[in-house]
Amino acid sequence: MLKLLKTRLTSFARDTKGNMSIEALIFVPFMLTVLAATFSLYDAFRFKSLNTKAAYTISDALSRQTDAVTPAYLDGMVSTLNFLTRSEDVYSLRVTTVQYDADDDAYDIKWSQARGKFASMDANELASKIEQLPTMLDNETIILVETHSTYETPFAIDEILTDELFYNFTFTRPRFAPQLIWHEDLDFGPETS
């Protein structure tokens, strides 16, 4: 009995005949799934890269700003984010200026404005991000820029791509002014008498 089983197993192992249609039926769906997942992951990380570059661009533009930032200027930054990433998805932007007080070893929010799903940053949220902030001098101010966008994958792999993947946190020091100023109702239009 054992010899017969060994003979049959040896014969089965040496048999190289196969049915191409059955092999294709098993292998093609697997290959199509791998190709769809690869394309979706490539596109998602391309979109992530565009979002990161757009966040750095907005942060750099704000760092060069010498005039007060207005609501219209911030709305323009959201439009810039949309333009740079070339997407129709929903965008969120938050700009916060933070000043460091060396005497108290404390960080103080000078102002925070948000668009989209973000709310203005408060002291508790800033406390959770202190580890991400750079070493600062006494009374030095930095500009925190946070962006977030949603992304719809071409193929369903949503369990791999989390919402945090498309969140960016950057900071910049003001370049040409000691700090970035917010003004709610600033109008640079012509004066009327």
Q: Round the average pLDDT of the chain to a whole number and report it.
A: 84
Residue that wins the pLDDT comparison between 35 and 154: 35
pLDDT of residue 185: 66
- pLDDT higher than threshold 70 for residue 130: yes
59 contacts 168 by C-beta, under 8 angstroms: no
Residue 3 pLDDT > 50: yes
Those residues whose C-beta lies under 8 Å from the C-beta of residue 41, and which sit 6 or more positions away, are: 157, 160, 161
Region at 59 (left for phi over 0; alpha for psi -120 to 50; beta for the rest): alpha
Count CB-CB contacts under 10 A for residue 83. 10
pLDDT of residue 100 exceeding 90 = yes
Confidence class of residue 14 from pLDDT cuts 50, 70 and 90? confident
Q: Tens digits of per-residue pLDDT, 44-63?
A: 888 889 889 999 999 999 99
